[in-house]
Amino acid sequence: MIRITISREAFDAIERTLPPDAELRANVKKEGSMCFLYVTKSLLNRLDAERLRGEELSDTIIRISWLAHRA
């Protein structure tokens, strides 16, 4: 597992897609506008593959969430 830091907005985008009893919520530390969570290397690799030039990880998550919501 790898610890990542994402914006609260990015985490909120993820959280909206989770069932109420999702394990992820228990493994997140929220501090101000940032969230710290652990993800698998394979998930991080998939997110990195989706990143656009100059895009932060949080931006990628928000963009993917927005595109999925539109579909």
Q: HSE (CB half, 13 Å, CA atoms) of 3? A: 6
As beta bridge partners, residue 31 has 34
User: Which of helix, strand or coil describes residue 33?
Assistant: coil
Tell me what the mean pLDDT of segment 33-37 comes to: 95
How far is residue 10's CA from residue 58's CA, in Å, rounded to a whole number?
5
Residue 32's pLDDT is 93
C-alpha 4/C-alpha 10 separation (Å) is 12
Rounded to whole angstroms, the Cα distance separating 62 from 36 reads 16
pLDDT tens, 4-31?
Answer: 999 999 999 988 888 877 777 667 899 9
